[in-house]
Structure 1
C-alpha cells in the first residue's frame, strides 16, 4: 500500500514549512510494504548502523591477526545488546514480563542505553573467554567505542523517520510537527530531540578524539566517551516527553551509570597507564 507512494512521500515529505511557520515531517514510517511484509525506516537504519559499526571495528583491528576473535566479539556484543535493549524496554513499559516477551515481535522497540550496558558486559565476558594475546580489555573497549558512532547516529535517525522518541512541546523555531506521531502528539510542534542527540553525539566524538591522542593510556578514550555522551544524554532527557513522568527518567538513570563509569576511568588514570604499558611489553 505504501510502497507505491514511497518516492512521492520522500520528495514532498522532507521538512516543509506549513502555515504556522513550523516544519512538518511527513515521511511515512514504512519504507517498504510488499505482500504483507512491512519494513520501517527504523529497522533499515538500525541495520545500516550496525553494519557500519562492525566495518569500523574491523578497520580498527585490521593490523592484527584476530579474525576468529574479532568475529566472536561482534557476535557477543550484538547478542548481549539485543537482550539488554529488549529487557530495558520491557522494564520501562511494564514491571512483570515473561522471558518469551524478549523475543516478541508484537511489542517492538529497544532501549539502547540498557543494551549498551549489557553489550559491554558481553564484551568483557567474551574477552576473558577467548583471551587473545596482546589485546588488553582496555584496548578492546577503545576499539568498541571508536566504532559505535554510526550505530548511535543511524539509530536516532531511524527514530526521526519513525516519528518517535519525541521532545516536549515548544513554540521555538526549532519545533517540528511529526505528522505520523501518535495522537495527540502530531498536533503540536515538539523538540526534535533525535536530531539534537545526533548532533550532540557527533560533537562529543569529535571533541574526545581531539583531546585523546595515541600516547593516552588504553581505555582513556572509552572512559572519556562514556563521560561525555552520558552527560549529553542526561541533559537532553529534560527535553523528552518522558521527563513529564518525573525526575529522573530511565534514560537519566542509565546515563548516570555511563557517567560514573567514565569518571571511574578518569580517576584511575595511573592504573590505566600501567596496564597499557604492561600490555605493550607483552606485545
Structure 2
C-alpha cells in the first residue's frame, strides 16, 4: 500500500427517482451560493441596495454559465455546432436519440468573458456606476467559486493530469486506469483558495479597492498564472494540439495575464470633465 497513491472511484450522482443529482452540479450551486454570501458582505460594506444585489446574482449566473458553455464549444468542441447544436444550450444530447447529460463542458476562459460582458450589461441597466468598480468586487466571490468548480471536475474524473510515472498520484478508476496521475484539478483548487484569500485581504485590509482596476487585474494575473502553470501537468484537451509548445489553455491564459498587468499598473479611469 502506497500512502501517496489514491484510488479514486467515487459515486458521481444520487438517483432521486425523478431526477439524478450530479455532484458536479452541486459544486456549481455551492459556488454560486457562497459567492452570493461573500458579495452580500461586500455590497453592504459599499452601501449598495439589496435590489441591485439580487439583479447582480441573476446577471452573474446567466453570464458565467452561458460564457463557460460557449467558451468550451468554441475553444474545445466546435464540432457540436454542426453535429448537436441544441446540446450547446440544453442539458440533453440530441445525437442518436434524446439523452439527459446535464451541463457538461464548461470553459473557465469563456466564463471570464461571459462575466465581463454580463457585468457591462448589469452596470448599464441596473447599477450605472462603473464596470471596473463592479469587476473589482465580483472577482472576489468568483475566485472562491472556481475552487468548487475544480473540486467538481475532480469528482467527475475530468480535466485529468498526466501520469506521474511514480507511486504518487491519483488512479482514476472511473476511467478504467491503474496508473496514478497528477490530481491537476486539486492543484488548481488549492491555488484558487489562496487567490481568494489574497483578493479578500487586499479588499478589506488595504486601500487598493479604491484604485480602480487593481483588484480585477490582480485576479486576472493570479488566476491565469495558476492556470498557465498547472496546464503543464494536465492532459491536453485538444488532442490535435498536443504537440504544441503551449496548449490551448496556456495560449488563452496569456492575454488574461497581460490584461491583468495592465489594470494593475497602467490603467487610468476616466474622470468626468468639470
Q: TM-score, normalised by structure 1?
A: 0.79
Match of 2:137 in 1: 143
Count of aligned positions: 251
> Given that residues 162 and 182 in structure 2 are in contact (C-alpha distance below 8 angstroms), is that contact kept between their aligned partners in structure 1?
yes
Matches within 5 A, 1:64-103: 64-91=47-74, 92-95=76-79, 97=81, 100-103=86-89
The offset of 1:147, in angstroms, is: 1.4
Task: Tell me how far apart the structure 2 counterparts of residues 51 and 208 of structure 1 sit (CA, whole Å).
Answer: 19
Shift of 1:157: 0.9
Q: CA deviation at 1:26?
A: 2.2
| 2:10 aligned residue | 27
Residue 196 of structure 1 corresponds to 187
Residue 166 of structure 1, CA deviation: 0.5
Structure 1 unpaired stretches of 5+: 1-17, 279-283
Distance 1:253 1:66, change over 3 A: farther
Q: CA RMSD in A?
A: 2.4
Equivalent-residue separation in structure 2 for 1:102 and 1:25 (angstroms)? 29
Q: Partners in 1 of 2:199 and 2:140 — Cα distance?
A: 10
2:197 paired with 1:206: yes
Distance 1:67 1:208, change over 3 A: closer
Does the 8 A contact of 1:29 with 1:163 survive in 2? no
1:252 counterpart (245, 250, 253): 250
Q: Which residue of 1 aligns with 2:29?
A: 47
Cα distance in 2 for residues equivalent to 1:20 and 1:49: 31
SS in 1 for 2:92: coil
2:207 corresponds to which residue?
215
Q: Pick one of 114, 126, 130 that aligns with 2:126.
A: 130
Distance in 1, matches of 2:35 and 2:42, equals: 11
Distance in 2 separating the partners of 1:22 and 1:57: 38
Give the distance between the partners of 2:4 and 2:147, measured in 1 at CA. Answer: 27
- Determine the C-alpha separation between the residues in 1 that align with 2:258 and 2:79: 26
1:49, 1:154 within 8 Å by CA — same for their partners in 2? yes
How far apart are residue 220 of structure 1 and its match?
Answer: 0.8
1:81 Cα deviation after fit:
1.3
Q: CA separation in 1, counterparts of 2:71 and 2:150?
A: 17
Provide the TM-score with structure 2 as the length reference. Answer: 0.82
Verify the 8 A CA contact 2:199 2:219 in the aligned structure 1.
yes
Deviations 1:213-243 (A, max 9, x none): 5322132111112111111101111111117
Q: CA deviation at 1:76?
A: 1.5
Deviates more, 1:140-149 or 1:89-98: 89-98
Question: What are the Cα deviations for residues 32-58 of structure 1, in whole angstroms up to 9, with x where unaligned?
Answer: 113252222111111111111111111
* Of 258, 261, 267, the match for 2:259: 261
Question: Which segments of 5 or more consecutive residues in structure 2 lack a partner in the other structure?
Answer: 94-103
- 1:19: how far off? 6.4
Q: 1:115 aligns with which of 103, 106, 111?
A: 111
Task: Please give the secondary structure, in 1, of the residue aligned with 2:20.
Answer: strand
